[in-house]
Amino acid sequence: MARVRLEGIRKIYPDSPQHVAVHGVDLDVADGEFVVLVGPSGCGKSTTLRMIAGLESISAGSLFIDDRAVNDVAPKDRDIAMVFQSYALYPHMTVRQNLAFALKLRSTPKADIDRRVELAATTLGIEGFLDRTPRQLSGGQRQRVALGRAIVREPKVFLFDEPLSNLDAQLRVQMRREIARLHQELRATMIYVTHDQVEAMTLGDRIVVMNKGHVQQIDTPMRLYDHPANLFVAGFIGSPAMNFFTGIITAGDPFEFRASEGAFTLRIPASLAERVRDLTGQVVTMGIRPEDVSVAPAAGPALFAGESTIVDPPVLAPARLDIVEALGNEIFVYATVGAFTITARVSPQPLPLPGEAVTLAFDLAKAHVFDQKDGHRVGKG
């Protein structure tokens, strides 16, 4: 097993010299850690992973595996195994031959190959399929074989590039758990690329959020969710996405947030006041997660009387209910407040009809405030 360290790793593809695919990534992956790179398509995840694997050259910066600089070490000598989205199995070989192939190439003794193949097959529950060809397997079984080919090599580091993207939703969830279990069993260092924030949140010890070739934040899943570094991370992590509205913080006692175009005014609760003190008179973006918004009939706030978890009383804004999505265990409510569409995530409850007036209650103690100039989140909280 191994530690993987990236220092200012940068990539400019020779055929598009104007475009920086990856801007100086600094990342220190601990021995046995599971790190996920996540971000929208084209943000540089695969490029970063392929530079770690040695499949792409590194334009600038240094890459270390344990304490060995490996910038110029050939992929096969990095002791890394990579699993791709396309299974890339040899169609004419049996599962056993597919699993054994890389070891044969390295002239591994036969007894050792047999032992490793059996072990990988048992670990993945494919020992019953060893004599089938890939064509005779389901998608999930093929992906297990692809995982098995990485496992038999007993590499120091596992790299995964969107390995589950070809599977249907149900199978994806199942394989996600298998990969988590595999990590717990092998305790190997794993670096995993996905565009799916749920996969990132559920698998990663730590997550690297990327956008346009830049690292936005490196943190644990819960830190990313509760303490996003900037607007991008706040909007990317969480589904449904965080609500954003722009406005001005006005001085006074108490401070107020006056939303753009006079849509509504919110009194800033004491718990948030400290963080916005230096921003009075400035345009900011306020962010609040759907679960921190509740919905009441227009008549009044009676519904919230029993809310004991809310430190400050919720801040109310008149709204129009647009759409209700009932998922069974919870309801997503979309409502318009002035120029803004707000999503609320509430527990099952009777709700007014679309088009009717409602009152939205914001638990502003849980709100985030972002500096309009650079998108950074304001205050520590």
Q: Which residue has the tokens 């199942």?
A: 174
Q: How far is the CB of 68 from ligand ADP (least distance, A)?
A: 25
Kindly indicate which of the ranges 46-54, 109-117, 244-252, 259-267 contains the residues binding Mg ion, using the contact rule CB under 5 A: 46-54
Cβ–Cβ < 8 Å for 287, 371: no
Q: How far is the CB of 21 from Mg ion (least distance, A)?
A: 11
One-letter amino acid of 243 = N
Q: How far is the CB of 7 from ligand ADP (least distance, A)?
A: 19
Contacts of 334 (CB under 8 A, 6+ apart): 321, 322, 323, 324, 325, 341, 342, 343, 344
Footprint of ligand ADP on this chain (CB under 6 A)?
13, 15-16, 21, 39, 41-47
243 contact, one of Mg ion, ligand ADP, none, CB 5-8 Å limit per kind: none
Buried b (16+ CB within 10 A) or exposed e, 195-223: bbbebbbebbebbbbbbebbbbbbbebee
Q: How far is the CB of 142 from ligand ADP (least distance, A)?
A: 22
In the complex, residue closest to Mg ion by CB: 46
- Of the two residues 121 and 179, which places its CB atom closer to Mg ion in the complex? 179
Kindly indicate which of the ranges 11-19, 40-48, 88-96, 260-268 contains the residues binding Mg ion, using the contact rule CB under 5 A: 40-48
Is 46 a binding residue for Mg ion by CB under 5 A? The answer is yes
Cβ–Cβ < 8 Å for 289, 244: no
Kindly indicate which of the ranges 11-19, 38-46, 122-130, 345-353 contains the residues binding Mg ion, using the contact rule CB under 5 A: 38-46
- Of the two residues 45 and 96, which places its CB atom closer to ligand ADP in the complex? 45
184 contact, one of Mg ion, ligand ADP, none, CB 5-8 Å limit per kind: none
CA 195, chain centre distance (Å): 7
Buried b (16+ CB within 10 A) or exposed e, 249-258: beeeeebbbe
Which has the closest alpha carbon to 298: 282, 270, 320?
320
Give the Cα separation of 141 and 147 in Å (integer).
10
Pairing of strands 68-69, 60-65: antiparallel
- Of the two residues 46 and 285, which places its CB atom closer to Mg ion in the complex? 46
- Of the two residues 85 and 141, which places its CB atom closer to ligand ADP in the complex? 85
Cβ–Cβ < 8 Å for 149, 160: no
Q: How far is the CB of 42 from ligand ADP (least distance, A)?
A: 4
Task: Kindly state the number of chain residues that form the binding site for Mg ion, as judged by CB under 5 A.
Answer: 1
Give the Cα separation of 232 and 379 in Å (integer).
17
Q: How far is the CB of 124 from ligand ADP (least distance, A)?
A: 26
- Of the two residues 21 and 99, which places its CB atom closer to ligand ADP in the complex? 21
263 contact, one of Mg ion, ligand ADP, none, CB 5-8 Å limit per kind: none
Kindly indicate which of the ranges 13-21, 44-52, 111-119, 179-187 contains the residues binding Mg ion, using the contact rule CB under 5 A: 44-52
One-letter amino acid of 258 = R
What's the farthest any 2 CA atoms get from each other in the chain? Answer: 79
- Of the two residues 121 and 210, which places its CB atom closer to ligand ADP in the complex? 210
Cβ–Cβ < 8 Å for 161, 193: yes
Is 47 a binding residue for Mg ion by CB under 5 A? The answer is no
- Of the two residues 47 and 216, which places its CB atom closer to ligand ADP in the complex? 47
- Of the two residues 42 and 318, which places its CB atom closer to ligand ADP in the complex? 42
Tell me the backbone φ, ψ of residue 265, rounded to 5 degrees: -125, 135
42 contact, one of Mg ion, ligand ADP, none, CB 5-8 Å limit per kind: ligand ADP
Interacting residues with Mg ion (CB under 5 A): 46
